[in-house]
Amino acid sequence: MRGSRVRAVRGSDAWASVSPKGQILASLAVLVPVALSGLALVALAPGSWWIFTTYFWVSFPAFRLLTRGVAGLSNPDMSSVGGGKERELLRALHEYGELTPARAAMETSLTVAEADEMLKGLAEGGHLKVRARGGALYYALWETMEGVGSQGEIRESYGEPGLKLLEPDADGARRDLERSEI
């Protein structure tokens, strides 16, 4: 990924970042020896066929990986079966609260044009809110609380540049109102 951060593999899907060809090769590296050893066991020791069932279980995850790789080859829009580029963009939105297309390109593997197109599509679908500030469009998830970042820190409001949050106590609120000359 581009950007200055190195991200660890999230969750239990360690194969999400591997290309479909890599997934197919890795699965065949397990499936072919298991199948050959099963055939050799049946051919050389027919009475011991049951031994094959004790280690055949390793083929199930490999078979799933093979089907994921084949599905990834047949569907080029799906970069990997973990959500691909859209999931990467949504994770960046969740992490930073709001993004411009240029910032999204810095934090993900997308180009600026891809990020712009994907953000516009998500906003047109009603999945993101769009704010214009300083001549730039900022995209954010609807769940993001206004004025609070994803880490819980207080940020400047999305509204007018000089607008600040009021203090919670009554004296502070009165002082803030007096300063703003309302």
pLDDT tens for 87-132 read: 888 888 988 889 999 999 898 888 899 889 999 988 888 889 999 8
**CA 120 to each of CA 50, 63, 111, 129: distance values in angstroms, whole numbers, following the listed order:** 57, 37, 14, 10
The number of helices, as runs of H, and strands, as runs of E, in the chain is 7, 3
Write the CATH number for 114.
1.10.10.10
Q: Which amino acid is at 147?
A: G
13 within domain boundaries: no
Q: Is 164 found in the same domain as 126?
A: no
Beta strand pairing status for 98-99 and 128-133? unpaired
Q: Is 60 found in the same domain as 89?
A: no
3 within domain boundaries: no
pLDDT for 28 beyond 90: yes
Q: Is 128 found in the same domain as 161?
A: no
98 within domain boundaries: yes
Q: Is 32 found in the same domain as 62?
A: yes
174 within domain boundaries: yes
Q: Is 104 found in the same domain as 61?
A: no
Q: Is 64 found in the same domain as 26?
A: yes
175 within domain boundaries: yes
Residue ranges making up the domain that contains 104 = 84-141
Q: Is 128 found in the same domain as 171?
A: no
Higher pLDDT, 163 or 84: 84
Encode pLDDT of 50-72 as tens digits: 887 887 888 889 999 999 888 88
**CA 155 to each of CA 93, 96, 148, 161, 175: distance values in angstroms, whole numbers, following the listed order:** 16, 12, 6, 11, 21
CB within 8 Å of 48: residues ≥ 6 apart: 41
Cα distance between residue 1 and residue 95, in whole Å: 15
Greatest alpha-carbon span in the chain: 94
Number of domains in the chain: 3
Q: Is 68 found in the same domain as 33?
A: yes
